[in-house]
Chain A
Amino acid sequence: MNKPLKTITAAASRREVLVVGATLAGSSLLVGCSLPEVLSAGSKVEPGAFGPFLKFAKDGTVTVVSKHIEFGQGNHAGLAAIAAEELDADWTTVKVEQAPANAKLYGNRLMGGTQGTGGSSAVSNSWMQLRTAGAAARAMFVSAAAAKWGVPAGEITVLNGVLSHASGKQAGFGELIDEAAKVAPPAEPKLKDPKTFTLIGQDRVRRKDSQAKSNGTAKYTQDVQLPDMLIAMVAHPPKFGATVKSFDATEAKKVPGVTDVFKIPSGVAVVANSTYAAKLGRDALKVEWDDAKAEKRGSAQILAEFKDYASGKKAAPEKVKWGGFDSKGPAAQAAAGANALEVAYDFPYLAHATMEPMNCVAMVGKGPPKLIFGSQTPTLDQMNTARVALALPGSVEIETLFAGGSFGRRSNFQSDYVVECVQIAKKVGKGRPVKLVWTREDDQRAGYFRPLTHHAVRVTTDKDGFPATWRHRIVTQSILKGAPPGAPGGKGVDFTAVEGVMGSPYLKATPVVDAQLLTPDVGVPVLWWRSVGATHTAYVMEHTIDQLAKRAAKDPVEYRRALYTKAGANRHLAVLNLAAEKAGWSTPAPAGWTRGVAVHESFGSVVAQVAEVKVENGVPKVGRVVTAIDCGTAISPNQIAAQMEGGTCYGLSAALFGNVTLTGGVVDQANFDTYRVLRNSEAPTVETYIVPSTNKPSGVGEPGTPVIGPAVANALLAITGQPTLSQPFVKA
């Protein structure tokens, strides 16, 4: 960044305890805001001392700086639109660029200040920051124009990036940069009344990257090519927790292009001057593994143990305790009541299976470490890199690129593949770039799966067929157990394992609840997987509700309405009613099709779906899926629809086919031939309807994923009369 020509004083805004700052860097004006502890009101602002969210160039270009990675969710479009709305910028020319790694400036306020993208929080945690920055910059340009033209600021209008006055005077942002730079940022920028929004909520809020992603120029980690760069592949142990006993690199080193072979903590690295040479070298490597500390159980055995814990056949393992949540009333009553519905559900491990397998570029040994890759949580990646490269975390530079999907995989407490790349780059040294390439097989077998999970539910009902007591046991692995000490949510009941049962309106409407979680230790690494706990909790709650409705001989929509009304779950009620109306729930389904409904709240948003299902050759076929979502203020209806379409496919893929199994501790699936995923002709047609709302925006990337599984299971229940108590529905 260039030296500032001038610094501008920061101003405090009481609205969200943000401090607005602005400064010149080179000939560009930077405007942004920070929390007061980073930038205090009245202080001089240097570039790099606050989070510039907006960059104005003399050629008129407005660039919105995104602190969130774009890996498909469309957040770059949403974030740019928030700022452009308050600015009254020309939307068609607004650009987006990725922020550097700097948690102080670009921390996620919903992730405890860690810089990262997750929990479907990109838009919600940026909402006030970008509105404030946009409004402040607009006010500065208006003041500048007023002074230059000698007219009252109140008489100046801004439309599509052009300031104008009735006298005929006009100027774009780019022409007023020097004058605007002399204006102190307003302490309390006046935000628009949402009723006057002209961009937010419009269909024209579209992706900024569709062209680059349709002509091959969008750049991903796999595409990084640097002078003198080496490519590395690693032979990993087949079992989790195994280590290298010995290796023979003789044949690997004979492969032309292979430059080095060496041991690293996670396996044996082969370094070469091309990807193909690295692959051949790795294939030629002979490694003997030490399985002494490895996890040797198969997934069937792990599941059997989980079931025994849930049923009480087996006591909880030593040092692991059952933890209660949402419980109320006499537990004994929940265990003993007569005529109960007793059901248990099994969920397998799931791989994220991104299209771009994990990879990273690192340069270590010459100046501060530098990484180039799709970093989902730069703060964690900086910390973990610093530990290996012996540097200060803040000195680790990260250039974040597009990532070919993540679904949670790239946000990892251990930064597993990043650390692996840094280990290799450190050994290579001299700052020479090393690109670590994982094959799809490496990725599939590296773990960090959605945990294998078992639920056991026992519900007794009142005279009207509604839940009177609800006993719930969940046995799964804890995702947050891998969190560094002091991380939020690391103590007590792991909320990522219970969210969705915890807080369920159905439990609110039930007088007696006994809900408990057990998280035994298993040597298979687990991680969040798009919608996290809801991947199983939504299924259990929604499919159980349909079974209860069936027992009560009540319509599933009517049954839910009664419970939502009792629980005061108005947003649930609204999405359910909207989906039911648009799907024509009260009319017969098209010939040959059967409808199923499900509703679930996750990441602050509530989604209802009505799916039309039939069974073809024993496989459920899903046709029309009517989706209603309440996600607060809708920034980009088009991209909300895209996330409902994509999230539905992701959830349906898991419900129908997703299955990672282990035999003797070894993952059985290696690639898409054995890890089946949803294909084009199996995709449903999703219609999306958005509940009008003036609440602040809530999540969109994940809430569309967990609802389709139970909606399909509920349709199957209507077709066959039988519940579907394990995923995937289609066994290999």
Chain B
Amino acid sequence: MATTVDVNGRPVNVNSPPETPLLWVLRDELGLTGTKYGCGVAQCGACTVLVDGNAMRSCQLPVSAIGAAKITTIEGLGGAHPLQEAWVKLDVPQCGYCQSGQIMSAVALLNATPKPDDAAISAAMDGNICRCGAYQRIRAAIKEAAAAPAQAAPAAPAATPATPSV
């Protein structure tokens, strides 16, 4: 049964069964593989996406629960988001597998709290595990992006990748 979901500013048809977690719809059906599978039980944060601007774990979110909410994935940030630029400048990634989720959690943090203090960073980022231990640079990059002038809102992605309608 097809349903329509707003992904990165574009309505896409989805044919996966309604209970399918959004993670697998994004990855297997829509080919948006930037959002990662890490633990499947909302413990690691690798699958984090924005749902109406809030960070959510897509591995535990049935696609049927999304309704009219707007989904933003790492692909929807466009690549030049201040957080992405800070991530590159400070060479935050190591293996890189968790970083899409880290960045999406950080986007939600800065949307809600443009100048977060250490406690706010801890509260927003403790749900995202990095086994390489890039934590120190993640914190530094969030502060770097928060200090960047005239931060662009990520809601309307500059370059939306082609998402096939299935």
Please report A residues at the B interface, Cβ cutoff 8 Å. 71-74, 206-207, 209-220, 222-223, 225, 231, 256, 274-276, 353-357, 402-407, 437, 439-441, 638-639, 642, 645-650, 653, 671-673, 677-681, 683-686
B125 at interface by CB-CB < 8 Å:
yes
Q: Which residues of A contact B139 (CB under 8 A)?
A: 680
Q: Across the interface, which residues of A come within 8 angstroms of B126, CB to CB? A: 679-681
Render B75-101 as a binary contact track against A, CB cut-off 8 A, 1 for contact: 101010000100110011111111110
Supply 21 A–B pairs (Cβ within 8 Å), ascending by A. A73-B94, A210-B93, A213-B93, A214-B88, A215-B34, A220-B97, A223-B33, A276-B21, A354-B95, A355-B46, A355-B97, A404-B98, A439-B40, A440-B44, A638-B91, A642-B91, A646-B94, A646-B133, A647-B133, A672-B39, A673-B41
| B36–A404 CB distance below 8 A | yes
- A404–B94 CB distance below 8 A: no
Contact at B31–A440, with CB atoms within 8 Å? no
Q: A356 — which chain B residues lie within 8 A by C-beta?
A: 36, 38, 95, 97
- Whether B24 lies near A274 (C-beta < 8 A) is yes
Question: Once the chains bind, are B24 and A215 in contact (CB under 8 Å)?
Answer: no
**Contact B24–A275 (Cβ < 8 Å):** yes
Alpha-carbon gap, A402 to B98, bound state (A) = 13
CB atoms of B74 and A355 under 8 A apart: no
Measured between beta carbons, the chain A residues less than 8 angstroms from B97 are 220, 354-356, 404-405
Report the nearest B residue to A212, measured CB to CB.
B96
User: How many Å from the CB of B79 to the closest CB on chain A?
Assistant: 4
Give Cα distance in the complex from A639 to B136, angstroms.
13
Contact B135 A649 (CB under 8 A): yes
In the assembled complex, the CB of B163 is this many whole angstroms from the nearest CB of chain A, namely: 13
Select from chain B the residue with minimum beta-carbon distance to A274.
Answer: B28
Interfacial chain B residues near A638, Cβ < 8 Å: 91
A220 to B36 Cα, complex, angstroms: 10
B14-54: contact bitstring with A at CB < 8 Å (1 yes, 0 no)? 00110011001001110111111111110110100000000
Q: Are A679 and B28 in contact (CB under 8 A)?
A: no
B38 touches A355 (CB 8 A): yes
A680 CA / B99 CA spacing, docked (Å):
13
What 5 A-B pairs have minimum CB-CB distances, sorted nearest first?
A216-B34, A649-B133, A404-B97, A213-B96, A72-B94
Residue of A nearest to B98 (CB): A355
Asked whether, in the complex, the Cβ of B87 is within 8 Å of the Cβ of A214, the reply is yes
Given A646-B134, A672-B39, A276 contacting B94 (CB threshold 8 A): no
- Residues of chain A within 8 A of B100, CB atoms compared: 216
CB distance from B74 to the nearest CB of A (A): 4
Q: Which of A217, A231, A678 contacts B34 (CB 8 A)?
A: A217
Task: State A217–B77 Cα separation when bound (angstroms).
Answer: 12
Closest chain A residue to B139 by CB distance?
A: A680
A635 to chain B, nearest CB (A): 14
Interchain CB contact under 8 A, B88 and A211: yes
* Bound complex: CA A71 to CA B96 (Å): 8
Closest chain A CB from B37 CB (angstroms): 6
Q: Does B148 count as interface, using CB distance less than 8 angstroms?
A: no
Residues of B within 8 Å of A406, CB to CB, are: 95
Interface set, chain B 110-126, CB cutoff 8 A to A? 121-122, 125-126
Residues of B within 8 A of A (CB): 16-17, 20-21, 24, 27-29, 31-41, 43-44, 46, 73-75, 77, 79, 84, 87-88, 91-100, 103, 121-122, 125-126, 128-139
Beyond contacts A206-B91, A684-B136: 19 other A-B pairs, Cβ-Cβ < 8 A, are A214-B84, A214-B96, A214-B103, A215-B75, A216-B75, A216-B100, A222-B37, A275-B28, A356-B95, A402-B95, A404-B36, A404-B95, A405-B95, A645-B137, A646-B94, A672-B39, A673-B41, A680-B122, A680-B139
Residues of A within 8 A of B121 (CB): 680
- Contact of A276 (CB < 8 Å), options: B20, B34, B103: B20
Which chain A residues lie closer than 8 Å to B133 at the CB level?
645-650, 653, 678, 683
Smallest CB separation, A586 vs chain B (Å) = 26
Chain A residues lying within 8 Å of B132, measured Cβ to Cβ, are 72, 355, 405, 646, 649-650
C-alpha spacing A72/B97, complex, angstroms: 9
Most chain A CB atoms below 10 A, which of B88, B131, B135: B131
**Min C-beta distance of A233 to chain B, whole Å:** 12
The residues of A that contact B32 with a CB separation of less than 8 Å are 216
Closest to A638 in B: B91
Known: A211-B88, A256-B17, A354-B131. A216 touches B35 (CB 8 A): yes
CB distance from B153 to the nearest CB of A (A): 18
Contacts A646-B132, A680-B125, A680-B139; A276 near B16 (Cβ below 8 A)? yes
Inter-chain CA distance A320–B135, complex, in Å, is 44
**Shortest beta-carbon distance from A261 to chain B in Å:** 19
A684: which B residues are within 8 A, CB to CB?
136
**A489 to B74 CA separation, bound complex (whole angstroms):** 45
- Once the chains are docked, how many angstroms separate the CA of A40 from the CA of B138? 49
- Distance in angstroms from B48 CB to nearest chain A CB is 12
Expressed in whole angstroms, the minimum distance between the Cβ of B150 and any Cβ of chain A is 20
Residues of B with C-beta under 8 A to A672: 39, 41, 43-44, 129
Asked if B131 and A677 make an inter-chain contact with CB atoms under 8 angstroms apart, the answer reads yes
Closest to A214 in B: B87
Query: Taking A356-B36, A404-B36, A646-B133 as contacts, is the C-beta distance between A671 and B95 under 8 angstroms?
Result: no
- CB neighbours (8 Å) of A218 from chain B are 96
Q: Does B33 lie within 8 Å of A222, measured CB to CB?
A: yes
State in angstroms the CA–CA spacing of A7 and B85 once bound together.
Answer: 44
Tell whether, in the assembled complex, residue A355 and residue B44 are in contact, meaning their CB atoms are under 8 Å apart: yes
Cβ contacts under 8 Å, B96 to chain A: 72, 209, 212-214, 218, 402, 404
Contact yes or no, A209 B135, CB < 8 A: no
On whether A680 and B138 interact (CB within 8 A), knowing A72-B94, A355-B95, the answer reads yes
Cβ-defined contact, B91 with A645, below 8 A: no
Q: Are the CB atoms of A216 and B73 closer together than 8 Å?
A: yes
Q: Which B residue sits closest to A439, measured CB to CB?
A: B40
CA distance A219 to B99 in the complex (A): 13
Best-surrounded residue of B29, B36, B73, B139 (most CB of chain A within 10 A): B36
Q: Which of B21, B36, B73, B134 lies in contact with A222, CB distance below 8 A?
A: B36
Min CB–CB distance B117 → chain A (angstroms)? 12
Residues of chain B lying within 8 A (CB to CB) of residue A74: 94
Q: For B84, list chain A residues within 8 Å (CB).
A: 214-215
Measured in the bound complex, the distance between the Cα atoms of B87 and A72 in whole Å is 15
Min CB distance, B2 to chain A, in Å?
15
On whether the beta carbons of B91 and A210 are closer than 8 Å, the reply is yes
- In the assembled complex, the Cα of A562 lies from the Cα of B75 at a distance in Å of 57
Taking CB atoms, residues of chain A closer than 8 Å to B131 are: 353-355, 405, 407, 650, 677
User: Given the complex, which residues of B lie within 8 Å of A642, measured CB to CB?
Assistant: 91, 94, 134, 137
Bound-state CA distance A653–B131 (Å) is 9
Whether the pair A225, B136 counts as a contact (CB closer than 8 A) is no
B57 shortest CB reach to chain A, Å: 12
Contact, CB under 8 Å: B31 / A225: yes
Contact at B28–A276, with CB atoms within 8 Å? yes
* Cβ contacts under 8 Å, A207 to chain B: 91, 93
Q: Closest chain B residue to A211 by CB distance?
A: B88
B122 — which chain A residues lie within 8 A by C-beta? 680-681
Tell me, rounded to whole Å, the shortest Cβ–Cβ distance linking B35 to chain A.
7
CB A650 to nearest CB in B, in angstroms, measures 6
CB distance from B18 to the nearest CB of A (A): 12
Residues on A with C-beta less than 8 A from B91 are 206-207, 210, 638-639, 642
Q: Which residues of B contact A440 (CB under 8 A)?
A: 38-41, 44
